Structure 1
Amino acid sequence: MSKRQMHLVGYVLAGPTWHHYGIWRHPESDGLDMLDPARYEEIARVLEHGKFDGLFFVDFLMLFDSYAGGYRTNLKEGGQQCMMDPMQLLATMARVTSNIGLAATMSTSLYHPFHIARSFASLDHITKGRAGWNVVTSAMDREAKNFGMDALLEKNLRYDMADEVVEACTKLWHSWEPDAVVGDRENNIFADADKVHYVNYEGKYVRTSGPLTTPRSPQGSPVIMQAGSSPRGREFAGRWAEVIFTLQNSKEHMQAFYRDIKDRVVASGRRPNECAIVPAVDVVLGDTESIAKERAEAINSYASPTLGLAEISNALGVDMSNEPLDKPLAELELTQGCRGILDVMLQGVEKDGLTLGQAGKAWATSQMTPQLVGTPTMIADYLQDYFEAECCDGFMICPSMSPGTYVQFVKTVVPELQRRGIFRKEYKYATFRENLQN
């Protein structure tokens, strides 16, 4: 009987900084190449060489400006910014790869279902069946204002709208039957119009008549990715998600999340293997443990406490710029809701006695993604232990530094996982979905 196989997905962002705020300053970083498509093509090649299931682009539709009254700090210090359209970058990455899944973020609160459906159907054709859609409902009113709205809907209503958007997209993707394109030159029949259908979808929040202008794509629909962890987000995930990425800092929390999501998937009438759960990890490697620790210390020295605090402010929607960095975190006056969010954000560190500057530094180091530091064998031991303990179906690899983290991981950790028989040596299937579910 063959062993259960681990899934690996790569985290990408079209900006100078990913999970580590300040790493663009490191001489080995390609952060200053954020506008060069060659950067992303090389990342795709590296991850495909490592037999990753897929990669996906995070995306934000605004410049973060909750700190010090504007976006000066985020721009000056190179905070998280999405400077290019992921869909266009994925099209370039598709041309230099053949197997790896390619996914982008697109908001159900800000984009119409017809636009979403057409974009991802096109990407699925371009990639020959490797497209994925990271579904987000958006979280910041500043994003809504960039699209001419005053504010986003309340969170649970945003998920109600997201359900409708995915339903409408699904109908649009299937508005062309698989064999609708005939291509009969002799009889002048390009397509069988009887196999192309209006959808006439009308919900409370969205409506579209269809049909889609793009014929049925190789997968029929893109792989659906999602990251919601609230009760309503988990409900949505149980119904739709085929990949869920999450942030957990302990084995117990990972196992509880895993069981809950799998139960929701089954309750929605799907099989457990139709949804891969991949918690995020950050990896720093070295030939010896001491070398890895020295490397992590050097990498983390670039993390900016001020930028970390600015990013916390953006996440909370609370400006902390007037607070001194040496102020104890416990003395920070926040609403109960914001305090709860902050506690979740910093769940990976001991908060007792932490100052704001220390909290900013901790957040800037890895966004509280568990930072695994060690030799390739040590990292493989950790990943295998958590994988076999049913904490997850694999991992979202979030690099401290691009492209070095990915290059080292593929060169050293992937062969060790393959040697242990828990990760593929070759792609067996043609589409993103098939590789995920088999």
Structure 2
Amino acid sequence: MTGTRRREMHLLAYLKTGPTGMHVGAWRHPNSRLDDILEPSRYEHIARVLEAGKFDGCFFADLFGLYDIHKGGFDTYIERGGQISFLDPVTVLPLMARVTEHLGLGATLSTSFHSAYHLARVLNSLDVLSKGRIAWNVVTSATDLEAQNFGIDKLPPKELRYDIADEVLEACFALWDCWEDGVFVLDKERGVFGDPGRIRYANYVGKYIQTRGPLSIPRSPQGRPVIMQAGSSDRGRDFAARWAEAIFSAQYGEPAMKAFYDDVKGRMAARGRAPEDCKILQGMTIVLGETESIAQEKAEHLNSLIDPELALAANSSGLAVDLAKVGQAQVADARGNQGMDGTQQRIEQQMREDGLTFDQVVRRGARSMVVGTAPMVADRMQALFEAHACDGFVLAPTIFPGMFEDIATALVPELQRRGIFRKDYTGRTLRENLRGPAPS
């Protein structure tokens, strides 16, 4: 008789190698650490905190350049502390892997600028060294400024970017499958190091991408990195339905969350994929307090630190439109081939749910935060989870690293007490922990 298991919530942490996450004012809080952004100890510490909290993993959001869309320059981002990646996330993942055993580790890399062979080689190397804990947050990139840093004047059209991305992933999968298990013989007596019969060429040829292979790297314990994705457009959802094993969703309000969840799971079913093959994780920012009033005071203080000009610059970057010059009516035409549909959808959802104007939303800066005691926040998370609005959450920091420390010591035990979050890791690899334990 096949056993059953209770559905478990999954948690990922949203990280940046810079001053702020989603909340544009949080870096100004007295308890936010800034002096160690360029220090290995910062990344080692947060890795230990997240593993102690039994997070599935973390991933680093990234931009291949400095946002300079707002007022035609990067002054606002540098002066006022915007979302900046001072370090390539790929360089900090090995630091985090060295001090943990279970935590999944993800990096954002673009299919529009990196060759399939380079992507497959770097990610598989990390996956082997971490013993199967690497995730690839696949992006096609959304701004011309990134393209220009790679010697391309403008991004290709979105549909073409996704067509290329499909082939890049097909090529990477072919490269990751070049090695079978058991290549290493290591027989000194006979002088046989390995079995070449267990390695083959990839010989992938697509319309846009081709690579011969093989990789010079053996298979990792999880076979290949976990594929993450965050596209919200129609084409992005199709891409996710085909490839993603974890999706970072940034919908605003429960109706939008459920609509996104049902849509993507339906697209997966149409491709013959089971619902559990991909976890849809809703973005959330949390403020915890010993009492509700303390939590509210913390949230109000955080929001008082928001610089409206930086909030406007951040939304300009997401839309790839200078909102200092362009109003709501001109956004669609001004965006052209750039910008993230997820930002556009979030703004529209906030306007509808909160009764705000476009200008109020893009200058407000404070995204919806879940504020309260650990049981209160757990109530909200459990309600969304059990309503099948998500399979878990991507938690973005406010005060760093204090917010994650509070989550690990106060919120996670509450979720564990309710039986909806793991008490310990059950898998050897990130993929195994995302999929959950096998039925008893």
TM-score when normalising by structure 2: 0.93
Q: Is the 8 A contact 1:278 1:394 kept in 2?
A: yes
Residue-by-residue CA offset, 1:304-341 (whole Å, 9 max, x unaligned): 10011112222223223358xxxxx76x6444675987
Show the counterpart of 2:370. 372
| Higher deviation after alignment, 246-255 or 216-225 | 246-255
Q: Distance in 2 between matches of 1:201 and 1:390?
A: 38
Matched, 1:154 2:157: yes
Q: Distance in 2 between matches of 1:32 and 1:333?
A: 41
Show the counterpart of 1:415. 413
Show the counterpart of 1:344. 345
1:308-387 equivalence runs, <5 A: 308-321=311-324, 333-335=330-332, 344-346=345-347, 347-349=349-351, 354=357, 356=359, 358-362=360-364, 364-365=365-366, 368=367, 370-387=368-385
Matched, 1:39 2:42: yes
373, 390, 393: which one aligns with 2:391: 393
How many residues are paired up?
427
Q: Secondary structure of 1:224's partner? A: strand
Cα separation, partners in 2 of 1:259 and 1:85, compared to 1, 3 Å: same
Matched, 1:227 2:230: yes
Q: Is the 8 A contact 1:20 1:401 kept in 2?
A: no
Q: Is the 8 A contact 1:181 1:215 kept in 2?
A: no
93, 97, 105: which one aligns with 1:94: 97
Q: Is the 8 A contact 2:313 2:323 kept in 1?
A: yes
Q: Secondary structure of 2:227's partner? A: strand
**Gap regions ≥5 residues in structure 1:** 324-328
Deviation (angstroms), 1:70? 0.8
Residue-by-residue CA offset, 1:197-255 (whole Å, 9 max, x unaligned): 11111111111110001111111100000001111111111111000010112222211
Deviation (angstroms), 1:431? 0.3
1:24-35 equivalence runs, <5 A: 24-35=27-38
Q: Is the 8 A contact 2:250 2:342 kept in 1?
A: no
Q: Secondary structure of 2:70's partner? A: coil
Show the counterpart of 2:277. 274
Q: Distance in 2 between matches of 1:15 and 1:168?
A: 32
Deviation (angstroms), 1:292? 0.5
Show the counterpart of 2:82. 79
Q: Is the 8 A contact 2:291 2:372 kept in 1?
A: yes
Residue 346 of structure 2 aligns to which amino acid in structure 1?
M
Q: Secondary structure of 1:106's partner? A: strand
Show the counterpart of 2:425. 427
Residue 307 of structure 2 aligns to which amino acid in structure 1?
S
1:204-215 equivalence runs, <5 A: 204-215=207-218
Matched, 1:300 2:303: yes
Q: Distance in 2 between matches of 1:218 and 1:2?
A: 25
Q: Is the 8 A contact 1:226 1:243 kept in 2?
A: yes
Show the counterpart of 2:132. 129
TM-score when normalising by structure 1: 0.93
Q: Distance in 2 between matches of 1:59 and 1:287?
A: 34
Show the counterpart of 1:111. 114
175, 178, 194: which one aligns with 1:175: 178
Cα separation, partners in 2 of 1:342 and 1:121, compared to 1, 3 Å: closer
Q: Distance in 2 between matches of 1:343 and 1:300?
A: 22
Residue-by-residue CA offset, 1:50-94 (whole Å, 9 max, x unaligned): 101110010100100011221111111111111101111000000
Cα separation, partners in 2 of 1:376 and 1:352, compared to 1, 3 Å: closer
Q: Secondary structure of 1:68's partner? A: helix
Q: Distance in 2 between matches of 1:254 and 1:283?
A: 17
Residue-by-residue CA offset, 1:140-170 (whole Å, 9 max, x unaligned): 1110110111122110111111110000000
Cα separation, partners in 2 of 1:216 and 1:40, compared to 1, 3 Å: same
Q: Is the 8 A contact 1:37 1:89 kept in 2?
A: yes
Q: Is the 8 A contact 1:24 1:32 kept in 2?
A: no
Deviation (angstroms), 1:400? 1.5
Show the counterpart of 1:199. 202
Cα separation, partners in 2 of 1:156 and 1:322, compared to 1, 3 Å: closer
**Gap regions ≥5 residues in structure 2:** none
Cα separation, partners in 2 of 1:341 and 1:431, compared to 1, 3 Å: closer
Show the counterpart of 1:326. none
